Amino acid sequence: MMLNSRLPVVFAFALLIAAPAAYAQHSAMPAGMTHEQHMEQMKKAGKTAMGFDQDTTTHHFLLAANGGAISVEANAADDRAGRDQIRMHLKEIAVAFKQGDFGKPLATHSEQPPGVPVMQRLKAEITYTYADTERGGIVRIATANAEALAAVHTFLKYQITEHATGDPLTVPGPGGELR
């Protein structure tokens, strides 16, 4: 009888110990994989999907009142090959996303990023505009559709977290639209 009365307490204690590790684990991470191992796996898959090394580039995922942006820059000013790979990749991304093709983010992250199903369904409501920057490029994402906007923000927040860019997870105040 004594053993049975302690069982719920032991079970609750075990859950408290295991919960932080389970919560911190990424949904696509195999059991036992550390965050660092996940990041290395993502970088390797990303290099294949994007065509450039994430350690020699800087990603930014920016939220805006009307959408957001994906910006990638070569870290070194003289990295012309990296800059050109970034430009080619982001041009491809702008075209693919417009068509509802999110295969590259899926390949990079080993899971479909949140927001993608809605972005695919409402692809006609979202514009993707590519532009060169000095060391790479930027894809501006814009929509006037509230459901699409929420999906774009969800997608970009996922990218900010996954790539650990440190970009804000909130939309800038008034006038925070991309042009």
- What digits encode the pLDDT tens for the residues 90-127? 999 999 999 999 888 777 758 888 999 999 999 999 99
Work out the pLDDT band at 26, boundaries 50, 70, 90: very low
Pairing between strand 126-132 and 67-74?
unpaired
The tokens of 25 are what?
């684990």
Please identify which residue in the block is written with the tokens 């990041």.
Answer: 39
CA torsion angle for 17, 21, 27, 31 (degrees, to 10)? -90
The tokens of 47 are what?
């290099």
- What's the confidence (pLDDT) of residue 158? 92
- What's the confidence (pLDDT) of residue 10? 36
Mean pLDDT for all residues in the chain: 79
Distance CA 72, CA 135 (A): 8
- What's the confidence (pLDDT) of residue 2? 47
- What's the confidence (pLDDT) of residue 105? 75
Query: CA nearest 64: which of 125, 144, 153?
Result: 153
- What's the confidence (pLDDT) of residue 129? 98
Please identify which residue in the block is written with the tokens 């900010």.
Answer: 160
Residue 163 has pLDDT above 70, yes or no: yes
**Residue 120 burial (CB < 10 Å; 0-12/13-18/19+)?**
middle
What are the Cα distances from residue 19, in Å, to 2, 11, 22, 162? 26, 12, 5, 21
- What's the confidence (pLDDT) of residue 17? 35
**pLDDT, mean of residues 69-86:** 96
What are the Cα distances from residue 141, in Å, to 36, 104, 168? 30, 17, 16
Residue 6 has pLDDT above 50, yes or no: no
- What's the confidence (pLDDT) of residue 36? 66
Residue 37 has pLDDT above 90, yes or no: no
**pLDDT, mean of residues 144-149:** 98
Q: Are 139 and 96 in contact (CB under 8 A)?
A: no
